[in-house]
Structure 1
Amino acid sequence: MSEAIRLYVRWVDTFNRWVGRFAMRLIFVMAALMLYAIGSRLFFGAPVNWSMEMSQFLLVSYFLLGGPYSMQMGSHVRMDLFYSQLSARRRAATDVFTILFVMFYLGVLLWGGISSTEYAWSYNQKNYTSWAPPMWPVKAVMTFGIFLMLLQAISALFKDVAIARGKPIE
């Protein structure tokens, strides 16, 4: 593989590792938020109307920003009937074929995410709740997470092509 591809793979893997490790910590923010909401309701009799939505937004961020890191680590669920019996080169060739479908799907999601984020920004879209937060920040995070997942899928494609050719990228 060319040096440009190696640099791309190294940069994307490093960036997604950093973002993924940041996203892992969002679970603690979510837990603290839920504890605050419970404490506020039980001890002070003042329920917090924004806590449930905010925790949902954090959960979306947790999943979508952590997804590329999960793909990088090979932590996604895989249907394994025959896959584990294949050689490393044949597994890589199979992955090259299947990652193309994943990339197409992510491309469609990214296109829809950009359109939805643009709409939310242009029309100041708000959620239909008593808190009524603007929707563009969570939609922007979702679109960014999908974009990172697409970059990671391209990185996985390059790595699998290299393995299938018998020259893995270090």
Structure 2
Amino acid sequence: MPAWSRAYVRHVEGLNYRIGRFAMYLLFVMMAVLLYSSASKVVKLPANWTLEMAQFLLVAYYLLGAPYSFQLGTNVRMDLLYSRLSPRTQALWDVFTVFALIFYLGVMLYGATDSTIYSFEVGERSPTAWRPYLWPIKLVICFSFVLMILQAIAHLIRDVAILRGREI
């Protein structure tokens, strides 16, 4: 495999590894927000921002962790036949299916980008009592789709290398 392809895989997987490890800790932040929510209700001073903030943190946790999960191979897959295939046949099947994944993620990124631009232009806010701006979480969603596309391309490069007999 050319040096640029090995460098691409190394850089993308390094970036997704660091962002994925960071995203793991968002779970603790979300737990702290929900704990604060429970404690504030006990003292009869409920905070109106905690539930929505926990939802935003969950979105960031889930979507920023997806490329890391894909990188580690811990993503959900229909494994009835796939696990019985040889590594080379698995790579061939992955080369075929990764194009469907990239297409799907491209469509999702297109829609998310359009929604983020609209949200930013009109100052879209959540229709709740807290009324936070929605563009920051939509920007995180767009960023995570970009990371996932980059990881899917890295996965494609790895599979092509396996098919050529030169594993990265």
Paired position in structure 1 for 2:20:
20
Q: Deviations over 1:53-96 (max 9, x none)?
A: 00000000000000000000000111012111211111000000
The gaps in structure 1 that reach 5 residues or longer are: none
Q: Deviations over 1:103-141 (max 9, x none)?
A: 000000111111111001000000100111000000000
Paired position in structure 2 for 1:33:
33
The 1-side partners of 2:156 and 2:78 are apart by 19
Matches within 5 A, 1:104-123: 104-123=103-122
CA contact (8 A) 1:89 1:165 kept: no
SS in 2 for 1:25: helix
TM-score (norm 1): 0.97
Paired position in structure 1 for 2:162:
163
Percent of matched pairs sharing the same residue: 51
**How many residues were matched structurally?**
168
SS in 1 for 2:165: coil
Deviation at 1:166? 1.3
Amino acid at match of 1:36: Y
Paired position in structure 2 for 1:128:
127
Paired position in structure 2 for 1:87:
86
Deviation at 1:147? 0.7
Amino acid at match of 1:106: L
The 2-side partners of 1:69 and 1:85 are apart by 24
Q: Deviations over 1:142-162 (max 9, x none)?
A: 110111001000000000111
The 1-side partners of 2:164 and 2:12 are apart by 21
The 2-side partners of 1:164 and 1:129 are apart by 52
Paired position in structure 1 for 2:4:
4
The gaps in structure 2 that reach 5 residues or longer are: none
Tell me how large the CA RMSD over aligned residues is.
Answer: 0.6
Please say if 1:97 is aligned against 2:96. yes
Amino acid at match of 2:54: S
